[in-house]
Each structure stands twice: as structure tokens, then as C-alpha cells.
Chains A and B, each alone.
Chain A
Amino acid sequence: MLSTLLPEFKVERDDKRCIRCKVCVRQCGFETHQYDEEDDEIISSEEKCVGCQRCAVMCPTNALTIKPHDFGYRPNANWSKDNFRDLARQAESGGVVLTGSGNDKPYRIYWDHIVLNASQVTNPSIDPLREPMELRTYLGCKPDKVEYDPKTRTVKTEMPPQVMIDVPVIFSALSYGAISYNAWKALLLAAKEAGTLCNTGEGGWPIELRELSDRVVAQCASGRFGVDLDYLNAAAYVEIKIGQGAKPGIGGHLPGEKVSSDVSLTRMIPEGTDALSPAPQHDIYSIEDLSMLIYALKEATHYEKPISVKIAAVHNAAAIASGMVRAGADIIALDGIRGGTGAAPKIIRDNVGIPIELALASVDRRLRAEGIRNQASILVAGGFRNSGDVIKAIALGADAVYIGTAALVAMGCTICQKCYTGICNWGICTQDPYLSKRLNPEIATRRLVNMIKGWSHEIKEMLGGMGINAIESLRGNRDHLRAVGLEQWELDVLGIRGAGM
């Protein structure tokens, strides 16, 4: 069948600069560039290019420019390029259109409409370079009240298990299997060095990496891949995954091609078979059932670890979150509509769920109104790009933030959205050994730690500017937020005032 798809990207090669070194030919896993020996020429098949910029970055003479192709059809606000392309792919295959990474549609990004406060004249700002500044955060259920015995100078209240993080930023659920071994190892090492945590996703936790770090969140998802007592007890906390922002309501299919022998060992399934994560957890059809799994995991970990429950942010998130807390969750994680994925049906990624800002504000308000906000920490995920987003989320009520895409970008990802193909020229989202060895775990670790370090400094500067010296004083402190360009209903949901008010 003739494909009616036009190339997405234009490959421009400056022939004066090109030295025929063939780096571009070797670097492209999609086989965009081919060397023609007879004519001593490199020919680029633009329809194969995904715009990941690997060849352009690696080209020693900067001979390559990759840019979005001018889409030659008559401009049409309704029939965008994406609509054309997806429909053509379906007409040619009859299948569900897949994609990777997070929602790229222009939904309102509320972080970009919220501004922070700073001290001027009437209250002193704090200089974090001179004064101690506390970013340390404890995740877990906090007791309703703390009883102190002044005679023995001890706290009488029995404290539920807590997990300490030095910075309120955690690497989100990225499974080994979706991402390469080197990428996963880098997240693990970086989490340890930066005093934070990484999350196994649903891909298990390779045995040999358990000795390197215990700063890991062990996820228990509907496929239960790699879940056993050793795995659960090795973790900092355990997370029940109900849903994911990129694909609320559906499960996951790790294609058989990505189930290599190592991945099959970690997930404990045969090599080459599809790893199917069912849409629901089949032992959870209600809040009562959720409670049953939460307490099964508490029994399995001897009540020594917090149990988290992660859901996709959906319309009734606040009511569901209330149920989750009452079911015994010590941490609740919300993943918004901009959350990333290794593979998801595009129609779901782009259309299902709600923005994390609105979900966070409504969940935090609901739990406060019901007097149970202390019973669970709130983690939020879904499109966090910088420390400004993080600090605004904390002021809106979050305890900490999960970052997935931002961590991948720190390692080299350029968000080409081809994660679902199993080919990643940056060596991150692939199991192909030729490609995955491109990612040096030590260098990737350094890049991740640098990012966390930079964000920490920035958060401290912003905190100091507000005259606050501990992140927990900002938590849920909406007085430090103002909105620009939002409607009244949005202000009501967010619980903040417009700028100037």
C-alpha cells in the first residue's frame, strides 16, 4: 500500500562541511542515513528520521541540521499535522496509534500561570549561602498528635514508618525493560548520591543492584513483575500502582521484543513473551480491596515501611484520594495528564486525565477538609520541568515531586517520543545492546546529580527570597502563590488569588 505519510523532519546536510566520516550513519538506529560508496555520498531517507538530533549532536563538523518538515498541505486549524499523520497510519494498518513520552498537546500548564512571592522591606529575605536552609522531607503517615513526656524527655507517640529524602524530588517510575539497564542503574546511583529515591516502575529490581542502594521505591503493579518478599523488603517504601498519568485506566504491554534474557530474569517471565500488565489490579475492585493489598504489603514488610498508592489524576481524584488514605495508604501519588510513558495509545495519552496542578490542589483541600491530610504524604507527577514547578507544587500542598521525563532529559533524552519502538539513539529507552551501551552510567549519574544539585540551590534561593528557611513551612502555603491569566473557576480550584490581590 502506498503510504501517504510525508516526512516529519527535514535533514539538511552542508556538503562543504560533511567529511564522510559516517558517524551519522552509525548513530541512527532508525537507519535514516546511508553511505553510497560509488558516489561517495551520504543519502538521508527523511521519512525515517524521528528528530532526536543524535546525528546532529555527534557530527564532528556540524554539517547536519534536522528541523521539522514544512508541512505542505493547506494550513488548517482543525486538521493539524498530527491528525493527518495519525489517521494515515491507521488507514494503512488498522491499529491503535502508539506513542511515547508525555502529552504534547497545548493544555494549559498552570505552573506557567502561577507566580511566587518574595520578601521586600517588611520581612527579611534569607541568604541560603550564609544561612542553613532545610529541604529535608519525611514521607509517610504522621500521627494526629504527638505526646511528649517531659520527665524522660522522650516522644511517647509511636511514630509510623517514615522515609527521609534530602530534596523533595524523586525519580519517577521508570521500569527496567522500558529503559535500558544503564539508564536504570544511573537513576539508582544518582538517587543514592543525591539523597533521594528512584522508583522501579513495574520492571523489578535486578538482584545485583540491590547491594548498591536501598534508596529505591519498589512498585507493585497489576502485572506483579519481579515482586517477592526480598524485593519488597529491600525497598525504602512500596508503591501500589493503580494508574499512570499517560494512560489512565489501561494496562501496559511491554512488547516481546523488549523482553531480553536479563529483562525476563528481572520480571520472572519467559524471554520474548509480551509482558502484559492488566488494566486493573485484579485483586482491587474497590477501596476495601485496595485496603486489603495495602495491609498485605504491610504484613509482608512487617509494618516497617510506608505504603504508597499511585493513581492517575482523574475527575474524581479528590474523593478517590480520600478513600486511599482511609484504606491505609501512607503516601498517595498523583500523576497528571502530562505524565510520560514508555508506550501508550496516543489517543489516551492526549485525551484522558486532568492536569496535575488542579488534581493536587483539590486533593490537598479535600484531605484537609476531612482532617486526614496528616495521614498521608502527597507526591505529584506529570510534566515537572524545573525547580520552579517543584516549589509551586509544594506551595500547592505537595510533599514532594516525582520527575520522569526531566530525569531522562538530564541523561540525554530529546523527547522524540519514539520510546515505544524499542529504538533509542541516546541509549536510554532501548534493550538493543548496540544502542544501550551509548549511555555511560557514571556520566549519566553525574548529569542527574548535577540537575538535582542545581534544582536544590534554586529552591533554596526561592525559599530564602520568601523569607522561609524550611521547605515544610511552604507546604500548602498558598499565600505565596498568585495567578496570572486564569479564570475565576481555576482560581477557586487552585485555592489561590489573582496577582495584585
Chain B
Amino acid sequence: MERLILSEKDSVEINADGLFYKDMNKLMRDTVLANNLTNAKLTNVYGQRYIGTNMDRSIKIQVYGTPGNDLGAFMNGSTVEVFGNAQDGCGNTMNAGEIIIHGSAGDILGISARGGEIYVKGNVGYRVGIHMKEYKEKKPVLVIGGTAQDFLGEYMAGGILILLGLGLKEGEKHKATFIGTGMHGGVMYISGDLDKRQLGKEVGQVEMGDNDKQALEKYVGKFANYFGYNAGELLNRPFAKIIPTSLRPYGKLYAY
């Protein structure tokens, strides 16, 4: 198979088999810039890191296989669709754009993200959404179809994190404990069974408002669209809204 196929529709297909990540990412970037492309398709991806990181223009990237760590790190506007599972650090310090994962993702998904949206069909690992932040209208959004491991939304300073719990069996609770430990901004919406003791001590559950419903309709709607679910059915499930009890969790720690 050829390494590189340019199609007429502003698109390139790169066979990543055996390519070092640095060379693969550079090849994609150079080809996209040289030919003014808007689409790239990477096939036979086996653990190559930092896909989308070096793109300073917004393009659409399709990834077939298993991308490596830090997928979409620092990404600024591109869309990455993964037909497989993502590893750790996906969306690390992402600024804008979208990542759609037709599978599961590893630890620290969306770490320190400042913007952009990430949709994961399956489950996610530990410390997902850690230290996401927001500024005015600029908010990162994570929508996770399955469940998450411990420390979900730890240190969260902003953004929206939606956990749907679709894979959970009848009566089965979410995996995560210490949810929202150190959280001091942003909001989580969690559907599926959850015990109060699974929450960290800095967060609490509050009533949903109209704004919350609008946000859920928008992002759960997109999730349903990407992964072939019925949006109405997903939205009819009960959601728990989790927010921090203080914007300054450590304000009283010091002797002035």
C-alpha cells in the first residue's frame, strides 16, 4: 500500500504503519499545508502520539487504529474522529476543536482543557477532566457514554462534564469515587446510579435549571448524533447536577 494518497476532495490519506509519530505528524502537516487540504485520514495507526497537536489550522482528521497518548494535545480548532480507543492524556490543554472517540479513552482525558469538545462512546480512566478551566463563554465540554474511574473532575476549575453511564447494568453504580475532589468551578451532569459517598468533599448535588437542560440537550444531542443513539431517550434519563460548594475551597487554609 502506498504511504500517501492525495484525493481530489481536499483530502489526504496516510498509511501510518511503522511511521514514528514525529514523522507521521510532520508528513500530515506538511502535506496539508502544501496542498491546502481540509481533511486527513490516518490508517494503521499504532500508538503514534500527539495527533493534531502540530496543526495550527482547523482540519478534519480521521484516525483508524489506536492513537497514542496526548491525542489532540494543545489542539486549536481541528476535529479528530477516532475509530478505535484513545489512550492517556487525550485533549491535554486543548484550546478549541472536537475529538470524537468511537471507543473508550484512558486516564486524564481533557486535562487542563481550556475549550473544545470531547465525545467518548465508551468508558474513561482515572482523573478525567482534571483541572479543566473556563473563561466567560469559552468552556471545554466532555461527554462520556459509559462510566469513569476515580477522581473524575478533580481540581475542575470550569467547563462541563457529562457522564451518561450507558454501559452500567441494572443497579450497578458508577465506578468513580472521589468525584470532584478539589473542584472549584464548572459543572458535572451524571446519569446512572451514584452513591453520595462517591462524591468528593468539595462538591454537592443541586437542582437542575433551564440552563442545565439546554446544555444537556445540546451536548447529549451531539453525542447521540455521533454514536447513533436516540437523543430523546438519553435525555429522559435522570441526571444529577454536581457543582462545587465553594469557588475558593482553600481560602481558609492560611493564617494571614
Contacts and interface: CB of A to CB of B under 8 A. Distances in A.
Given A229-B95, A292-B70, 9 more contacts: A223-B131, A224-B112, A224-B131, A233-B56, A269-B134, A276-B184, A293-B70, A295-B22, A302-B54
B53 A276 contact: no
Contact of A273 (B74, B127, B184): B184
A357 B243 CA distance: 47
B135 A296 contact: no
Contacts of A274: 184, 247-251
A95 B255 contact: yes
A278 B89 CA distance: 17
Given A93-B255, A256-B251, A268 B53 contact: no
Nearest to A265: B135
B157 A273 contact: yes
Contacts of B138: 268
A361 to B, nearest CB: 35
Interface residues of A, number: 45
A92 B131 contact: no
Interface string A398-434: 0000000000000000000000010000000000000
Interface of B: 22, 25, 49-50, 53-54, 56, 69-70, 73-74, 76, 88-89, 92-93, 95, 108, 111-112, 114, 127, 130-131, 133-136, 138, 154-155, 157-158, 182, 184-185, 247-256
Contacts of B256: 93, 95, 98, 421
Contact of A270 (B53, B73, B158): B158
B50 A255 contact: no
A269 B185 CA distance: 9
Contact of A292 (B89, B182, B250, B253): B89
Contact of B73 (A256, A273, A296): A296
Contacts of A368: none
B49 A295 contact: yes
A272 B89 contact: no
Nearest to B92: A283
Interface of A is mostly: mixed
Contact of A299 (B53, B88, B157): B53
Nearest to A297: B74
B92 A296 contact: yes
A387 interface: no
Contact of B255 (A97, A278, A295): A97
Nearest to B50: A299
A228 interface: yes
A97 B254 CA distance: 6
Contact of A96 (B54, B154, B155, B253): B253
B155 to A, nearest CB: 6
Interface in A222-259: 222-225, 227-230, 232-233, 253, 255-256
A500 interface: no
Contact of A268 (B54, B108, B114): B114
Given A296-B74, A300-B73, A98 B255 contact: yes
6 contacts: A222-B131, A233-B56, A273-B157, A295-B50, A299-B53, A300-B53
A15 B179 CA distance: 63
Given A228-B76, A268-B138, A299-B25, A255 B70 contact: no
Interface in A88-144: 89-90, 92-98
A300 B61 CA distance: 17
B158 to A, nearest CB: 7
A206 to B, nearest CB: 14
A269 B70 contact: no
B64 to A, nearest CB: 21
A318 to B, nearest CB: 28
A362 interface: no
Contact of B74 (A232, A264, A272): A232
A145 interface: no
B194 to A, nearest CB: 23
Most buried by B among A93, A97, A282: A282
Contacts of A225: 133
Nearest to A230: B76
Contacts of A93: 255-256
B50 A283 contact: no
What 7 pairs across the A-B complex have the smallest Cβ distances?
A95-B255, A224-B112, A93-B255, A268-B135, A299-B50, A299-B53, A228-B95
